[in-house]
Amino acid sequence: MNIEPAEKISGIAEIPGDKSITHRAVMFNAAAEGKAKITRALVGEDCLSTVSCMKALGAKIEREGETITVEGSPEFKNNALCDCGNSGTTMRLLCGLIAGKGVRATLTGDASLSTRPMRRVAEPLALLGANVRTTDGTAPLIVEPAPLHGCIVETGVASAQVKSAILLAGLGASGETIVREPEKSRDHSERLLSAMGADIFVHQNAVRIRKSRLHCVDVDVPADISSAAYFLALGALKGEIVCPRVGVNPTRTGILTAFDRLGVIYTLQNERLVCGEPVADIVVKKSAMRAITLSKEIMPALIDEIPVIALLCAFAEGESVISGAQELKVKESDRIATTAEMIAALGGDIRATDDGFVIRGKSKLQGGKVRSYGDHRIAMTAAIGLAASENGGAIEGAECVNISFPDFYRRLAGLGN
């Protein structure tokens, strides 16, 4: 994919539905009693993997455009084969959900997903009595029926995927299950489970859940702030961008905290609640940015946005330091290595560390040829960097954006003036 440099950027960037909320809306409704309609859903490859898996487990699901209709199956089919594709969210959450249903299932994934760590879910689930077998710590996974009992689980890392898997298992466990995190991770699961009738209580970084049956609820999915981040960054570099209906859940708005520190000019307009999730229109204008420091405590709220934040730092005045981001190493690629390589290929001054980056900002980047390594967030960050560069360039493996934002390049091209 060739990306031309943009003289000026302005306009409205329509962002697809939130990936995390779409996964959960499909999965939780498919395991519940009744029927639900999910509107403005993300229909990228990862979320379609969740649709496929829930069908394999017995749910009836139909899709028309961005609307997904789900008829739940509270009792899962036994011996299902669930192909999770490239979706770590699908695989990790399903481990807990299937364990709580007391059936046998096999979870597989593509070559990339099959290298990602799965003991981080299997081991805490074992504390509840779950029998989840990994293949040398990775997929394929086999979940065997086992009686579950509630317990207290202290997670070493703030991870919404791990927390959600434990909570979903807790739906089928006797007694009370409590998950405690070192920092609060995104809370989409807690919000939706509560709306669906789960016996769940949240206090600071701890969540308590008891055995519950879920009831289907309709969900109107907000726009994904992680996908909006690319266009918001482009607005800060090249013009003025409006992203409507963006989810601004406080566990997801670390990007706005980073904007505050960078000196990005932005406003939240038309703030409201949609299906229990806070939503706003975000407007960003071209900004003179300064160097920042980001460390471990903020990472749960912006881990997916770190590559594009690092790109903004490459244009900011001074030396920026990002640390505490070890989690980047176990994403679709090692995002510490691939982000550093990508920004260096654009002409930026960046040094990778064990847990982040040191970035010396420049007023301009030249552009060049970038490899995506099959990682959608690296490809989209590279596209923004190339559009903001002097000469533009090309992205090798650009099609991987279909995982989360199938229409990304067309929408990007529509903003140039």
Rounded to whole angstroms, the Cα distance separating 239 from 10 reads 5
- Annotated binding residue at 114? no
Whether the Cβ atoms of residue 246 and residue 222 lie closer than 8 Å to each other: yes
**Bridge partners of residue 397, in order along the sequence:** none
Q: Roughly what angle, to the nearest 10 degrees, separates helices 188-195 and 160-170?
A: 30
Tokens 């690296």 sit on residue: 378
- Annotated binding residue at 235? no
What amino acid is encoded at 367 in this protein? G
- Annotated binding residue at 20? yes
- Annotated binding residue at 304? yes
Rounded to whole angstroms, the Cα distance separating 15 from 417 reads 20
- Annotated binding residue at 116? yes
304 among known catalytic residues = yes
- Grouping H, G, I as helix, E, B as strand and the rest as coil, residue 111 is coil
- Annotated binding residue at 24? yes
If we measure between CA atoms, which residue out of 246, 240, 243, 247 comes closest to residue 265?
240
Active-site annotation holder among 304, 349, 355, 407: 304
Whether the Cβ atoms of residue 157 and residue 196 lie closer than 8 Å to each other: no
- Annotated binding residue at 335? yes
- Annotated binding residue at 19? yes
DSSP state letter for 73: -
If we measure between CA atoms, which residue out of 311, 338, 354 comes closest to residue 396?
338
Rounded to whole angstroms, the Cα distance separating 312 from 412 reads 17
Residues in the chain: 417
Whether the Cβ atoms of residue 127 and residue 149 lie closer than 8 Å to each other: no
- Annotated binding residue at 364? no
Residues with a catalytic annotation lie at: 304
Binding-site entries for 3-phosphoshikimate: 19-20, 24, 159, 161, 304, 331
Indicate the annotated binding residues.
19-20, 24, 88, 116, 159, 161, 304, 331, 335, 377
Q: Which residues contribute to the annotated binding site for phosphoenolpyruvate?
A: 19, 88, 116, 161, 335, 377
